[in-house]
Amino acid sequence: MEFERPGIIRPPSEHASYFLPLTSGCSNNTCTFCGYYGSKLRMREVDDIKKEIDAMVLYVQHGIHLPTVPDIVYAVLQSWEQRRVFLQDGDALVYPFPKLKEVIEYLNEKFPCLERIGIYATPQDVLRKSLDELRTLRELKLGIAYMGVESGDDEVLQKVGKGVNHAQLVEAGRKAKQAGIILSVTVILGLGGVEGSGRHALEAAKVLTEIDPEYAGALTLTLVPGTPLYEQWEQGNFSLITPLDSLKELKMIVENADFTDCFFSSMHASNYYSVRGKLPQDKSRMLRELEAILAKGDPALLRPEFLRGL
């Protein structure tokens, strides 16, 4: 079956990257809150990927458009600075190691000035790859992996179908770091619902501390129609925390997580309030900011619902 190019879903920090699809869908399509739930994982043929890289070269070096290449390729290339590439899709690290190595080697050969290649990875993908394989990918400029941690609470992880527990999250995170790959992880405020809120936040702080990533971000749960969690909510089996309670979770995480040197942010569009800083240095300032908002208790100070995004 012909590979169908996925839409562009990427971390905000990859805005200047070229988006090169290796897969579509996600290999762990069981997370009940995620738009990739139930998606079918498809792998793109290496030759097809190489053809796209060749088309990139033709355009960048000679301004040549090929009629067979999708318009989106040229739309992205127009402003591409040839420094970064982001490998799509939901967890491109699932791509088999020999093929992944071949693709990245080809990219490096054609664009020797590349500085960094980024990728979404599930904890399972990281655990499946050997440390040597990850190190080889790192040497080939796979410089950053974005990994959804979501929670540190085993009960929440199990309920939402993450497919790994707290200990495995930590093992995966540390393994990527050990390979020299920068790690950017995210947790989801509100994922424990009302009942599990406090424990979810504390365990999220704990898992972040144990992984000790270079980047950590908080997102806020946004229910996606068609997902099992949305249905649970509709049926009254899952209760959403309030926007102000999401700030309480955020404060608990900032307060309780201990990092060596981490850029922490809640700048993502899903959040009701944005705070960011280097931890541990900026902890007091960030906590003061959150406390001030919580003390006022005024929902008008938060991002309005219609401006929130996934």
**Contact flag: residue 126 with ligand SF4 (CB under 6 A):** no
Nearest-angstrom CA–CA distance, 130 and 96: 12
Q: Which residue, chain included where needed, has tokens 């998606």?
A: 39
* Binding test (CB under 6 A) with ligand SF4, winner from 23, 24, 28, 227: 28
CB nearer to ligand SF4: give 34 or 221. 34
Of 175, 176, 154, nearest to 163 by C-alpha is: 154
Nearest-angstrom CA–CA distance, 128 and 132: 12
Nearest-angstrom CA–CA distance, 55 and 58: 5
How far from chain centre, in Å, is Cα 309? 15
Shortest CB 168 distance to ligand SF4, Å: 13
Question: And the tokens for 112?
Answer: 């020797």
Nearest-angstrom CA–CA distance, 240 and 258: 27
Shortest CB 107 distance to ligand SF4, Å: 23
Residues 153-182 that bind ligand SF4 (CB under 6 A): none
Residues 59-118 that bind ligand SF4 (CB under 6 A): 90-91
CB nearer to ligand SF4: give 164 or 250. 164
What x-and-dash track marks residues 131-150 binding ligand SF4 by CB under 6 A? -----------------x--
**Contact flag: residue 29 with ligand SF4 (CB under 6 A):** yes
CB nearer to ligand SF4: give 27 or 136. 27
CB nearer to ligand SF4: give 20 or 26. 26
Shortest CB 36 distance to ligand SF4, Å: 4
**From the CB of residue 73, how many other CB atoms can be counted at a distance below 10 Å?**
19
SS3 string, 139-198, reads HCCEEEEEEEEECCCHHHHHHCCCCCCHHHHHHHHHHHHHCCCEEEEEEEECCCCCCCHH
Burial class (CB in 10 A: 0-12, 13-18, 19+), 75: exposed
* Binding test (CB under 6 A) with ligand SF4, winner from 24, 122, 151, 220: 122
Region near ligand SF4 per CB under 6 A, out of 27-35, 64-72, 171-179, 271-279? 27-35
Shortest CB 241 distance to ligand SF4, Å: 19
Q: Which residue, chain included where needed, has tokens 């990994």?
A: 147
CB nearer to ligand SF4: give 162 or 206. 162
CB of 21 within 8 A of CB of 89? Answer: yes
* Binding test (CB under 6 A) with ligand SF4, winner from 20, 22, 34, 100: 34
Of 299, 212, 290, nearest to 248 by C-alpha is: 290
**Contact flag: residue 36 with ligand SF4 (CB under 6 A):** yes
Shortest CB 6 distance to ligand SF4, Å: 11
CB nearer to ligand SF4: give 121 or 257. 121
Residues that bind ligand SF4 (CB under 6 A): 26, 28-29, 31, 34, 36-37, 90-91, 122, 148
